[in-house]
Every structure is written in C-alpha cells, then in structure tokens.
Structure 1
Amino acid sequence: MIHETIVTTAACDGRPHIAPMGARYEGEFVILSPFRPSVTLDNIVASRAAVLNFTTDVRVFAGCVTHCATDWPTLAATRVAGVRLAESLAHAELELDELRDDNERPVLRMKCVHRETHAPFAGFNRAQAAVVEGAILVSRLFMLPADKVDREMAYLQIAIDKTAGDAERTAWGWITAAIAQHRERLASPGGQAA
C-alpha cells in the first residue's frame, strides 16, 4: 500500500525542499523511492534525514507538481536535520537506514525516530482525494495518453463539483491549467512539453 504524503528535506545550507511522494511502510520503517534526478534524494543522501508531513491541504500537492505554489511555511524538525510543514496535521521524522541504489529509482529505507501530532484529522473529503489524483496525473502527463487523462479528469471533476471547498477549487484550478499548458506546448511548433 502506498500512502500519499508530503516529504520535506533541507539542503546543506538549510534551504527547505517540499515534494509530494508516495511512502510505503515496512514495520517501523518508511520506504521512499524517488525517481532520479531528485532534490529530495540529494538532500536525504547529504543529511540522512527527511520528514513525512500528513496534511489535508491539497494545495501543497497541486502547488508542487504544477509549480504554482512551492513556498509553503516550514519549521525546524524536532530531532532530525530537516524541516516540517508548519501547517501539517502531524509529521514523522526519519533517518536514513539503508540506501539501495538504482540508476532510475533508488530505494530509501528510513527509520522513524520521532512523531508529533499538531491538529485533529477532520475526516475524508472526496474533493481532496480528487486533487491528489489530479496532481498524480499532472506528474505523469509526459507518459499518459491524452484520452486517459481526459477520462480521469472528467470523473474526478464530479467530486470537485460536489464536495470542494475554496482550497480544493484553487488546487483544481492549478491542475487544469497545468494540463492545458502541457497541451499547448505539445501543439506549438516543435511540439515539446517542458
């Protein structure tokens, strides 16, 4: 099972990096598998630390993949050399236990060394789940057929229409704009998507 989270890391100079990433659990260990190239991977290798952030603010997911908003407030982590999202519901601080190198997608086995809860979880919202799925689609536009993206976006739109609040509508707007921009780049002379 893969859990969609926000991973925060810090560069050697303390600069924070925020990235959506799926995490798996093996007992007390968290497994991360970032694709190369990856700032998250570089930061973890250098600092041997990362933080999993548990948030229902899906603007963070959408903002990161669309590059519409990437400067989310952070605070210093409690026990590791890193940062956490200031507005997360909870976070888990991780230390690198093992790196299984790979040219495409290394596997990082991280040991949880500290957990904190900051706010209660209010429950699931279908629009939040739709935004996370939409953000995943945006991150894979380069490899998905347009008709598949269109079918999935049409289905996800139902949850947005029925259950979205302001934050989810903002995030959904970023996602739909990113898809439109991707298609415009493909249709332009040269047909290359950035």
Structure 2
Amino acid sequence: MIHETIVTTAACDGRPHIAPMGARYEGDFVILSPFRPSVTLDNIVASRAAVLNFTTDVRIFAGCVTHCATDWPTLAASRVASVRLAESLAHAELELDDLRDDKERPVLRMKCVHRENHAPFGGFNRAQAAVVEGAILVSRLFMLPADKVDREMAYLQIAIDKTAGEAELTAWHWLTAAIARHRENLAASGGPAAELVSH
C-alpha cells in the first residue's frame, strides 16, 4: 500500500524543500523511492533525515506539482535535522537507515524516530482525494496521452463539483491551468499536442 504524503527535507544551509511523495510502511520503517534528479534525495543523503507530513490541505500537493505555490510555512523538526509543515495534522520524523542506489529511482529505508499529532483529522473528503489524483496526473503529463488525462480529469471533476471547499477549488484551478498551459506550450513548439502532453 502506498500512502500519499508531503515529504519535507532541509538542505545543508537550512533551506526547506517540500515535495509530494508516496510512502510505504514496513513496521517502524518508511520506504521512499524518489526519481532522479531529486532535491529530496539530495537533502536526505546529506542530512540523513526527512519528515513525513500528514495533511488534508491539498493545495500543497497541487501547488508543488504546478509550481503555483511552493513556499509553505515550516518549523524545525523536534529530533532530526529537518523541518516539518507548520500546519500539518501530524508528522513523523525519519532517519536514513539504508540506501539502495539506482540510476533512476533509489530506494531509501527510513526509520521513524519520532511522531507528533497537532490537530484532529476531520474525515474523508472526495474533492481532496480528487485533487491528489489530479496532481498525480499533472506530474505525469509527459507520459500520458491527452485523452486519458481528459477522461480522468472529467471524472474527478464530479467530486470537485459536489464536495469541494475553497481550498480544493483553488488547488483544482492550479491543476487545470497547468494542463492548459502545458498544452499551449507543446502546441507552440510544434509537438503532438493532440496525442501526448508533457510537464
């Protein structure tokens, strides 16, 4: 099972980096597999630390993949050389236990050394799930046919229309604008806009 989370890391100079990333759990260990090139990977290798953030603010997922908003408030982690989202519901602090290197997608085995809860989970929301799925689509535009993206976004739009609040509508706007922007750029460059879109 893969859980969609926000991973925060810090560079050697303390600069925070925020990235949506799927995580797998193996007991007290978390498995991360970032694609190269990756600021998250570089920061973890340098600091041997990262933080998993659990949040229902899906603007963070959409903002990161579209580059519409990437500067979310962070605080210093409690026990590792990293940062956490200031407004997360909870977070887990991780230390690097093992790195299985790969030229495309290294596997990081991270040990959970500390957890904190900050706010209650208010329940599932279909629009939030739709934004996360939409963000994944946007992150893969370079490999997906345009008609597949259109079909999936049209289905996800149903949940947005029925259950979205202001934050979800903002995030959804960023995603749809990113798709339109990319297709415009692809068409301007003479690419096969009708068949494949790229991010």
Fold shared, TM-score > 0.5 on shorter chain: yes
Partner of 1:63: 63
Q: Which moved more, 1:126-135 or 1:180-189?
A: 180-189
Partner of 1:18: 18
Partner of 2:182: 182
Deviations 1:102-145 (A, max 9, x none): 00000000000000000000000000000000000000000000
Give the distance between the partners of 1:175 and 1:135, measured in 2 at CA.
7
Give the distance between the partners of 1:71 and 1:184, measured in 2 at CA.
26
Q: Quick check: 1:182–1:193 contact (8 Å CA) kept in 2?
A: no
Q: Which moved more, 1:2-11 or 1:182-191?
A: 182-191
Give the distance between the partners of 1:3 and 1:90, measured in 2 at CA.
14
**Structure 2 unaligned runs (5+)?**
195-199
Partner of 2:91: 91
Deviation at 1:44, TM superposition (A): 0.1
Deviation at 1:191, TM superposition (A): 3.1
Moved over 4 A (4+): none
**Structure 1 unaligned runs (5+)?**
none
Q: Quick check: 2:62–2:174 contact (8 Å CA) kept in 1?
A: yes
Deviations 1:39-70 (A, max 9, x none): 00000000000000000000000000000000
SS, match of residue 142 in structure 2: coil
Deviations 1:73-129 (A, max 9, x none): 000000000000000000000000000000000000000000000000000000000
Residues 50 and 141 from structure 1, CA distance in 2 versus in 1: closer, same or farther, beyond 3 angstroms?
same
Deviation at 1:166, TM superposition (A): 0.1
Q: Quick check: 1:185–1:192 contact (8 Å CA) kept in 2?
A: no
Counting matched residue pairs gives: 194
Deviation at 1:192, TM superposition (A): 9.0
Give the distance between the partners of 2:189 and 2:56, measured in 1 at CA.
40
Q: Quick check: 2:187–2:193 contact (8 Å CA) kept in 1?
A: no
Give yes or no for the alignment of 1:73 onto 2:73: yes
Deviations 1:9-38 (A, max 9, x none): 000000000000000001110000000000
Q: Quick check: 2:9–2:17 contact (8 Å CA) kept in 1?
A: yes
Residues 108 and 193 from structure 1, CA distance in 2 versus in 1: closer, same or farther, beyond 3 angstroms?
farther
Question: What CA RMSD, in Å, does the superposition of the two structures yield over aligned residues?
Answer: 1.6
Give the distance between the partners of 1:184 and 1:107, measured in 2 at CA.
35
Deviation at 1:189, TM superposition (A): 3.0
Give the distance between the partners of 2:173 and 2:189, measured in 1 at CA.
26
Residues 192 and 11 from structure 1, CA distance in 2 versus in 1: closer, same or farther, beyond 3 angstroms?
farther
Deviation at 1:190, TM superposition (A): 4.1
Give me the identity figure in percent. 91
